[in-house]
């Protein structure tokens, strides 16, 4: 007797266990969204929304993106060896000057109306861009660190970390051009070198390779002092992974006991492990955690934290609202795998999400209304978990992918999804079955495949490279069960 079933686990996060026979799920270039209307009024409770596309907005910059920053209607970025300012009305930009380049990312921070200055840390040196006169000035004060690597702003002071030490230098109040060599703080409760510094809720987090201390402003002569007891025995191997989102610090973490986990702060401590076992496994297999670039963006109500590994891939993305992981990436047909996302840094300005290319001198606008990567189709993939009934035979008569149909365009008149499957624990997959999702206006089109064989353990996979938004809601199957396991 045939049964019509909802495919178990069709909608779910990325989760590939060390043994793919245990779990083999992928979710690339789609994200999860819970439908917040009352249950029973929608064909799905959770569905897949395509990740935003990008389109070139500013081109011809000096080199790849190394830092982006926005505040009070002004947007800046370091690309290659140059500082640029971008304008929204006419989509133009201005080269604000040379700031040097090396293999590290750059750092941008502003003291706002208090000092009208933008601090630029690049290639080990510092510059101040004067926001009122639009002039770029090198920092020559003798108290400035000899090899600066990151800079932040907190409580009217710029703070800059010195490479290879546990020291942080402090500027004069609201003046990033003046630095007293005696205005230095150094970790007091831990002995490891600093990896990163972050401002969070008016406090300074000194993140070492294995430990983290929290410091706070003081009215005394010391300017900043440690918060007693606010020490976490976690640091980071990835200095540029540390970002702030949803009033918390997020980073690739490590301790004296190991690494390759994603951590989040709570209160004054780093203690919440956000990565699943599968995500930690992906991190452990990444060749160079140090190259990780962290970024944050909020779109359609979702706040997402991203960790991009430019060389080895992938881009891992955590949806804070959904508390689930997915991946972003660019499909490399030659290597038969996804590589890291095209973009790394992000700034929100002029009501737009602006993102910088990690390889080219290009800034893109990122939008949920765009369905391609600057004209290149986005390959999206969902691999479902294993389906079996105590290894008894299942006969698959029909599978239907429930999606939004009729979204074809002139450019993509017959958009399609492909369906493929594995009967050997996700080691090999059958040739793809191409299924239409309907030309423009064909709202009743159905993506259905018939005569799908039998299995004792089956893994289904859906892919698409359609140049239109592909919204997946669910998947159903007509299946019958055999009587034995042989």
Q: pLDDT (tens digit, 9 = 90+) per residue, 234-256?
A: 999 999 999 999 999 999 999 99
Is position 324 within any domain?
Answer: no
Measure the N-to-C terminal CA separation of the chain; round to a whole number of Å: 19
Is position 433 within any domain?
Answer: yes
Q: What does the pLDDT average to over 390-414?
A: 92
pLDDT value at residue 42: 63
Structure tokens at 298: 């909020």
Query: Are the C-beta atoms of residues 436 and 448 closer than 8 Å to each other?
Result: no
Query: Are the C-beta atoms of residues 118 and 112 closer than 8 Å to each other?
Result: no
Is position 259 within any domain?
Answer: no
Over residues 47-105, the pLDDT tens digits come to 999 999 999 999 999 999 999 999 999 999 999 999 999 998 788 999 999 999 999 99
Question: Which pLDDT band, with edges at 50, 70 and 90, does 307 fall under?
Answer: very high
Query: Are the C-beta atoms of residues 399 and 7 closer than 8 Å to each other?
Result: yes
Q: What does the pLDDT average to over 131-142?
A: 98
Is position 301 within any domain?
Answer: no
pLDDT value at residue 44: 73
- As a whole-number percent, the residues of the chain with pLDDT over 90 amount to 89
The pLDDT of residue 124 is above 90: yes
Overall pTM > 0.75: yes
Q: Which residues pair with 317 in a beta bridge?
A: 306, 326
Is position 427 within any domain?
Answer: yes
pLDDT value at residue 1: 56
Tell me the pLDDT of the chain averaged across its residues: 95
Domain that holds residue 409: 3-30+381-481
pLDDT value at residue 89: 79
pLDDT value at residue 4: 87
The pLDDT of residue 143 is above 80: yes
Query: Are the C-beta atoms of residues 366 and 54 closer than 8 Å to each other?
Result: yes
pLDDT value at residue 286: 87
The pLDDT of residue 260 is above 90: yes
Query: Are the C-beta atoms of residues 177 and 139 closer than 8 Å to each other?
Result: yes
Report which DSSP code applies to 408: -
Output the CA angle 61-62-67, nearest 5 degrees.
80
- C-alpha span between 278 and 258 (Å, rounded): 16
Task: Find how far residue 115's CA is from the centre of its chain.
Answer: 32
Nearest to 102 by CA among 133, 132, 81: 81
Least confident span in 156-160, 174-178, 460-464, 482-486:
482-486
Is position 274 within any domain?
Answer: no
The pLDDT of residue 139 is above 70: yes
Classify residue 358 as left (phi > 0), alpha (psi -120 to 50) or beta.
alpha
Residue 15 host element (H or E): strand 15-16
The dihedral through the CA atoms of 480, 484, 485, 486 has a sign that is negative
The dihedral through the CA atoms of 113, 116, 120, 126 has a sign that is negative
The pairing of beta strand 363-367 with beta strand 352-357 = antiparallel
Structure tokens at 94: 């201005």
- C-alpha span between 329 and 343 (Å, rounded): 10
Count of structural domains, the chain? 1
Is position 327 within any domain?
Answer: no
Is position 401 within any domain?
Answer: yes
pLDDT value at residue 410: 81
The pLDDT of residue 440 is above 70: yes
Q: How many CA atoms, within 13 angstroms, populate the side-chain half-sphere of residue 69?
A: 26
- C-alpha span between 217 and 174 (Å, rounded): 14
pLDDT value at residue 312: 82
Over residues 189-225, the pLDDT tens digits come to 999 999 999 999 999 999 999 999 999 999 877 899 9
- C-alpha span between 49 and 34 (Å, rounded): 10
pLDDT value at residue 2: 73
Q: Which residues pair with 138 in a beta bridge?
A: 127
pLDDT value at residue 45: 87
pLDDT value at residue 287: 76
pLDDT value at residue 486: 66
Ordered alpha helix ranges (H), 11-60 = none
The pLDDT of residue 39 is above 70: no
CATH (domain of 400): 2.60.120
């Amino acid at each position: 007797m045939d049964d019509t079933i909802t495919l178990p686990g069709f909608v779910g996060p990325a989760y590939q266990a060390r043994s793919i026979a245990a779990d083999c799920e992928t979710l690339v270039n789609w994200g999860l969204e819970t439908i917040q209307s009352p249950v029973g009024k929608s064909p799905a409770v959770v569905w897949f929304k395509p990740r935003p596309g990008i389109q070139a907005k500013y081109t011809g910059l000096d080199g790849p993106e190394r830092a982006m920053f926005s505040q009070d209607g002004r947007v800046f970025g370091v690309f290659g060896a140059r500082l640029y300012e971008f304008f929204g009305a006419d989509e133009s930009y201005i080269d604000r000057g040379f700031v040097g380049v090396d293999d590290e990312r750059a750092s941008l921070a502003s003291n706002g109306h208090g000092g009208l200055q933008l601090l630029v840390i690049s290639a080990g040196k510092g510059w101040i861009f004067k926001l009122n006169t639009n002039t770029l000035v090198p920092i020559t004060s003798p108290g400035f660190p000899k090899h600066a690597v990151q800079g932040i702003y907190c409580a009217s002071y710029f703070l800059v970390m010195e490479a290879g030490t546990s020291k942080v230098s402090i500027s004069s109040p609201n003046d990033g051009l003046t630095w007293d060599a005696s205005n230095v703080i150094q970790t007091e409760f831990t002995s490891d070198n600093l990896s990163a510094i972050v401002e969070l809720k008016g406090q300074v987090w000194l993140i070492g390779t294995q430990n983290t201390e929290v410091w706070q402003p003081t009215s005394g002569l010391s300017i900043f002092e440690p918060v007693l007891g606010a020490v976490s025995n976690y640091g980071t191997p990835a200095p540029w992974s540390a970002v702030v989102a949803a009033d918390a610090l997020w980073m690739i973490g490590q301790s004296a006991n190991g690494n390759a986990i994603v951590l989040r702060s709570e209160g004054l401590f780093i203690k919440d492990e956000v990565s699943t076992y599968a995500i930690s496994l992906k991190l452990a297999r990444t060749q160079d955690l140090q190259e990780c670039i962290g970024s944050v963006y909020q779109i359609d109500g979702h706040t997402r934290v991203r960790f991009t590994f430019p060389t080895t891939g992938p881009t891992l993305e955590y949806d804070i609202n959904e508390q689930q992981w997915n991946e972003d990436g660019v499909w490399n047909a030659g290597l038969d795998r996804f590589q890291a996302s095209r973009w790394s840094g992000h700034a929100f300005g002029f009501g737009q999400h602006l993102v910088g290319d990690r390889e080219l001198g290009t800034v893109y606008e990122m939008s949920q209304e765009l369905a391609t990567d600057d004209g290149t189709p986005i390959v999206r993939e969902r691999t479902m978990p294993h389906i079996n009934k105590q290894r008894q035979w299942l006969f698959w008569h029909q599978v239907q992918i429930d999606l939004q149909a009729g979204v074809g365009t002139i450019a993509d008149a017959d958009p399609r999804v492909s369906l493929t499957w594995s009967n050997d624990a996700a080691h090999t997959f059958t040739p793809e079955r191409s299924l239409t999702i309907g030309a423009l206006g064909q709202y009743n089109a159905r993506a259905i495949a018939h005569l799908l064989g039998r299995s004792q353990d089956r893994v289904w996979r859906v892919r698409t490279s359609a140049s239109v938004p592909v919204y997946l809601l669910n998947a159903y199957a007509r299946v019958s069960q055999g009587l034995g396991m042989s």
